[in-house]
Structure 1
């Protein structure tokens, strides 16, 4: 029997989408143990819902400071791999900034490290996808920042929608119908995949149906984070019914 593998996830807000990560991890590999550590928001943030767009942007950038991530990376069991499981807090610093976050975490913990944003790029390369549509829950300016991040890696955004949700805690309460409506609105005939970049959303039960309806891969923040971590630990799992990302090695 293969020994347990420990994945350490740095996460921004307690009691949001952790259960979605655990549900997918259990489906993919019963031997994958997921442990969370929480990165504290800045003292001046208060309630995200109360901040304007500029304030949210600065709060997100502050949360993603490499030293802040490193200080928060304290897990009950030393992880075999660690990931910064937050989309916006990794892509708002650009591709170089995301790589710096991963480098600092690797130096701190001595294990492979990544982030949700870097995982999107690795997953897109794995599927040989270069044209995408974005089902974004963010403000249009933040959506544009993600499109710029993708462009740095040679990925073109052909269409996007922006829901401008107030906070990750609000997004954790979205039901499947609302997520599906956002994904459907974002799809475009010229896109070879649809991306849903938010780790607070509960997307795991929806991926297979969304892919069947749209006729293309649907990459969610939860799925790419776990797939990328599994890849770093060895061979990514192949699990029917978990989406196209998990259908091929």
Structure 2
């Protein structure tokens, strides 16, 4: 029987269908359930916040207590749970991301992770320690993600920042706009390009992006799903979904550089 992934998600009706599409394309297909983490009482429209306000809002959203409260909304306890939000997991640093996962594991009794920890796991699987960032965030928040990666021994050699208004706005980006961002972010010294945003619809683009750049393009959706499955011991491989799901041997980095 295939494992069931439980995803905690920040804003309803953004990128959930992209997660479902990826899980459906795996062999065997994977079931995925969602529960939603409530934004802070003082947060109205995210797109009306300035850069500092957005950073504060996503940091507050990732408080471990908010995550465990939201996890009560799963109809049944999943086999693995992940906090499927990039910025809300990396803004607390590596220790903070691990604290989020530990709180969920203690609360639900199942393996737990987050999109940010999933990035570290993906980079470890592929033996990558130099990356470029195709960031949708404000430059200040992009720098926070680069520092998070640096804590785990991953160097950011180049980054661009699209400074998008909100996750709901990003959910409406089409494939061409996503592709343009990734191509602009690429750098000759980068072993991979990271696209850290779970509202983007990237599943249909995975193979195309990697073929165009000639290197892995690690999207937030793909790393979240792969990491969640790895934590259950189920790691389906499927051609056409990029390097992370490709059949064949990997070149792992030492475990000390990846998440725990």
Q: TM-score range by the shorter chain?
A: over 0.9
Aligned-partner Cα distance in 1 for 2:198–2:43? 20
Give 1:233 deviation, angstroms.
Answer: 1.3
Alignment of 1:51-66 (within 5 A): 51-66=49-64
Aligned-partner Cα distance in 2 for 1:40–1:162? 26
2:20 is matched with 22
2:230 is matched with 231
2:178 is matched with 179
Contact 1:60–1:88 (CA under 8 A) maintained in structure 2? yes
Q: Provide structure 2 residue ranges, at least 5 long, that are not aligned to the other structure.
A: 250-260
Give 1:78 deviation, angstroms.
Answer: 1.2
State the Cα RMSD in Å. Answer: 0.8
Contact 1:5–1:31 (CA under 8 A) maintained in structure 2? no
1:37-63 CA-to-partner distances (Å, cap 9, x unmatched) read 000000110000111111111100100
1:82-124 CA-to-partner distances (Å, cap 9, x unmatched) read 0000000000000000000000000000000000000000000
Contact 2:27–2:238 (CA under 8 A) maintained in structure 1? no
SS at structure 2 position matched to 1:37: strand
Give 1:31 deviation, angstroms.
Answer: 4.2
Alignment of 1:88-237 (within 5 A): 88-237=87-236
Aligned-partner Cα distance in 2 for 1:225–1:127? 15
Aligned-partner Cα distance in 2 for 1:158–1:246? 25
Q: Which runs of 4+ in 1 moved over 2 A?
A: none
Give 1:29 deviation, angstroms.
Answer: 3.6
Contact 2:62–2:88 (CA under 8 A) maintained in structure 1? yes
Q: Is 1:240 matched up with 2:223? A: no
Aligned residues: 247
Moved more, 69-78 or 166-175: 69-78
1:70 is matched with 68
Contact 2:64–2:100 (CA under 8 A) maintained in structure 1? yes
Give 1:4 deviation, angstroms.
Answer: 3.6
Tell which has more relative contact order, 1 or 2 (C-alpha 8 A, sep 6+): 2
Q: Provide structure 1 residue ranges, at least 5 long, that are not aligned to the other structure.
A: none
Contact 2:27–2:237 (CA under 8 A) maintained in structure 1? no
